Amino acid sequence: MRYNLLRFDNLPSTNTYLKENSENLPDMTAVTADFQTNGRGRMGNTWIADRGCLALSLLIKRSIKPTGLTLLCAVATARAIKQLCGEAVGIKWTNDIILADCKVCGILCEGKLYGDNSGYEYIICGIGLNVNQSREFFVNSSLPNAASLYTITGRKYDKEQAARLILDNISELLECDGEYVLKEYISLCITLGKRVRLIQNGNEIFARAVSVDNDGALICENDSGGLFRVTAGEVKLRAENGDYI
């Protein structure tokens, strides 16, 4: 399954570009911008990045559940990082990519439902991979728990190669069974088996993350042994140094 890659020097946001042009662009249109002036993150956050970051978005126009696609993109990105620099990353539920206890990639999937709610007209997967930013960038941006492939491995990488590896892996995984993708996701998910801090609607609770179900929900166990599903909100994970990331 091939994709068509459009490359820009700068855009407000690659996700916004695809959203605004979704009617005229076909399935599997990908777009990169060397720099975003208004990069967007999850939960309404701003995605702070300089030209060291790969900003990549992919337009999907086919019947697929957004939750499944979110997990698939995380697996594809983890595979691509391994192929690019040899590092084995972990996935923090749902879709933060973690290397050496730092976030190196965030993923924002956004969809538009048909008017009659019968399915999705499109889904846009936006991937922000910290490739070549310097340590100073993260310090100056007050991002103590973020890092780039460069700060971790000491080597710089070609952002277009990174984009193509991610897109090749997404294309390959889209041909696979959902169960196969979920199995690989679970094997990469570093949240599982850990004590997590859940922040939902301003409330904070602690629990143990147990599994991820077919719908991509995180199954947690409370201190009394009761199981519950987490589908949204922030899930923080305790790192080696005791910080919650």
- Residue numbers of the site for ligand BTN (CB under 6 A)? 13-15, 36, 39-42, 45, 47, 55-57, 96, 106-108, 126-128
Shortest reach from residue 200's CB to ligand BTN, in Å: 17
**For ligand BTN, the closer CB: 129 or 212:** 129
* H/E element, 230: strand 227-230
Shortest reach from residue 117's CB to ligand BTN, in Å: 25
**For ligand BTN, the closer CB: 42 or 236:** 42
Shortest reach from residue 116's CB to ligand BTN, in Å: 28
Shortest reach from residue 225's CB to ligand BTN, in Å: 32
**For ligand BTN, the closer CB: 119 or 158:** 158
Answer yes or no: are the C-beta atoms of 158 and 133 closer than 8 Å: no
Query: Each residue of 66-89: b (16+ CB within 10 Å) or e?
Result: bbbbbbbbbbbbbbbbeebbeeeb
Instruction: State the Cα–Cα distance between residues 143 and 130, nearest whole angstrom.
Output: 12
**For ligand BTN, the closer CB: 14 or 132:** 14
User: Letter for the amino acid at 35?
Assistant: F
Local structure of residue 129 (DSSP, 8 states): E
